[in-house]
C-alpha cells in the first residue's frame, strides 16, 4: 500500500495512548491503544448511483477542475472498481479514480487497515449533508459497517459541524444520532467503537 492509499482513507489521525495494535481482531470495547483514521467517504463518480465526480473535480473532469492534492494509486483496484476519467491519460493509458460508494472498494480500504495494523475509522458525517445522506440511504456508511464486520476493524460516527448553524446544529446531531441508532442500528453493530461502556461519537469543527 502506498502513501496515496493512506491519503485516500482520510486525513484525520487519532492516537490514544499506547500506539498501534497488532493486525488481528480489534477490541471494540475501548479506545485505549487505538489508531483510528478519519474516513470521509465522499468520493463518487458517474456510474456509482450518484452521477457526479464528487470531491474529485469542480464540475467537468479537467486538470484545471481537479480538487485533490494527491492523485490516488488505483493499481490494486479491480476493473469494476475503477472510474475511467474521460479525456485523461497517464503514461498514454486511461486514467482512473474510485468511488466510496462501491462496497468492494471500501472493503479493500478496511483490508489495508487490517494489514497495516490500523484499528478502524471515524466516519465523518457533515452536518450540512445529513439530509441528503439519509435520503440516499447512507450508502457509504452501510459500506463501512459491512467492511468493519468483515475485517474486524472498528468504526464510530464523527460529526463535522463546521459551517453548521450554531442555533440548530446540536438538535440536528441529536435527531440524526437517534436515526442512526434506531434505524441504521449503528450502535448495535458488533464493531461499533465503544469506551467505558458507551458508544463513541466524535464532534469536529466546533
With beta carbons less than 8 A apart as the criterion, state whether 159 and 202 touch.
yes
> What confidence category does residue 147 fall into, taking pLDDT thresholds of 50, 70 and 90?
very high
User: In which band, very low, low, confident or very high, does the pLDDT at 14 lie, cut at 50, 70 and 90?
Assistant: very low
Extract the C-alpha cell encoding 55: 470531491
Q: Which of 2-11, 12-21, 83-92, 139-148 has the highest mean pLDDT?
A: 139-148
Are 166 and 121 in contact, with CB atoms under 8 Å apart?
no
Is it the case that residue 20 has pLDDT exceeding 70? no
CB hemisphere CA count around 147 (13 angstroms): 28
pLDDT digits (tens, 9 = 90+) for 57-69: 988 888 888 888 8
Average pLDDT, stretch 107-131?
Answer: 94
- pLDDT reported for residue 52: 85
In this structure, are strands 194-195 and 82-90 parallel, antiparallel, or unpaired?
A: unpaired
Task: Give CB contacts under 8 A, 24+ apart, made by 149-152.
Answer: 149/189, 149/190, 149/191, 150/107, 150/110, 151/107, 151/110, 151/111, 151/113, 151/114, 152/24, 152/25, 152/26, 152/114, 152/191
Least confident span in 16-20, 86-90, 147-151: 16-20
| Position 25 confidence tier, pLDDT thresholds 50, 70, 90 | confident
Query: How many Cα atoms sit within 13 Å of 6 on the Cβ side?
Result: 11
pLDDT at residue 18 is higher than 50: no
Q: What is the pLDDT of residue 132?
A: 86
Query: Residue 133: is its pLDDT beyond 60?
Result: yes
Q: What percentage of the chain carries pLDDT values higher than 70?
A: 89
Q: What is the pLDDT of residue 136?
A: 84
> What average pLDDT does this structure show over 120-124?
96
Q: Is the pTM of this model over 0.85?
A: no
DSSP structural state of residue 189: S
Q: Is the pLDDT of residue 1 over 60?
A: no
Residue 32: what pLDDT? Answer: 95
Largest Cα separation within the chain, whole Å, is 54
Q: Which domains does the chain have, with CATH numbers?
A: 3-42+101-204 (3.20.20.80), 44-99 (no CATH)
Angle at 44 between CA 34 and CA 78, to 5 degrees: 80
Query: In the beta sheet, which residues pair with residue 89?
Result: 94
Q: How far is CA 107 from CA 3, 39, 143, 166, 183, in A?
A: 18, 13, 7, 36, 22
Amino acid at each position: 500500500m502506498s502513501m496515496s492509499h493512506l491519503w485516500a482513507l482520510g486525513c484525520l489521525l487519532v492516537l490514544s495512548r499506547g500506539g498501534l495494535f497488532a493486525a488481528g481482531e480489534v477490541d471494540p470495547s475501548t479506545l485505549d491503544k487505538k489508531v483510528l483514521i478519519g474516513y470521509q467517504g465522499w468520493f463518487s463518480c458517474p456510474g456509482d448511483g450518484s452521477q457526479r465526480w464528487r470531491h474529485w473535480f469542480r464540475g467537468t473532469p479537467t486538470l484545471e477542475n481537479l480538487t485533490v492534492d494527491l492523485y490516488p494509486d488505483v493499481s490494486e483496484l479491480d476493473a469494476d472498481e475503477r472510474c475511467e476519467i474521460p479525456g485523461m491519460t497517464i503514461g498514454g493509458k486511461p486514467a482512473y479514480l474510485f468511488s466510496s460508494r462501491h462496497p468492494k472498494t471500501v472493503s479493500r480500504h478496511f483490508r489495508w487497515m487490517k494489514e497495516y495494523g490500523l484499528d478502524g475509522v471515524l466516519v465523518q458525517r457533515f452536518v450540512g449533508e445529513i439530509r441528503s445522506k439519509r435520503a440516499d440511504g447512507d450508502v457509504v456508511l452501510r459500506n463501512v459497517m459491512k467492511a468493519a464486520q468483515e475485517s474486524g476493524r472498528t468504526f464510530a460516527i464523527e460529526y463535522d459541524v463546521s459551517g453548521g448553524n450554531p442555533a440548530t446544529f446540536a438538535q440536528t446531531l441529536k435527531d440524526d444520532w437517534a436515526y442512526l441508532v434506531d434505524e441504521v442500528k449503528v450502535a448495535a453493530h458488533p464493531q461499533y467503537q465503544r469506551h467505558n461502556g458507551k458508544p463513541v461519537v466524535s464532534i469536529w469543527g466546533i
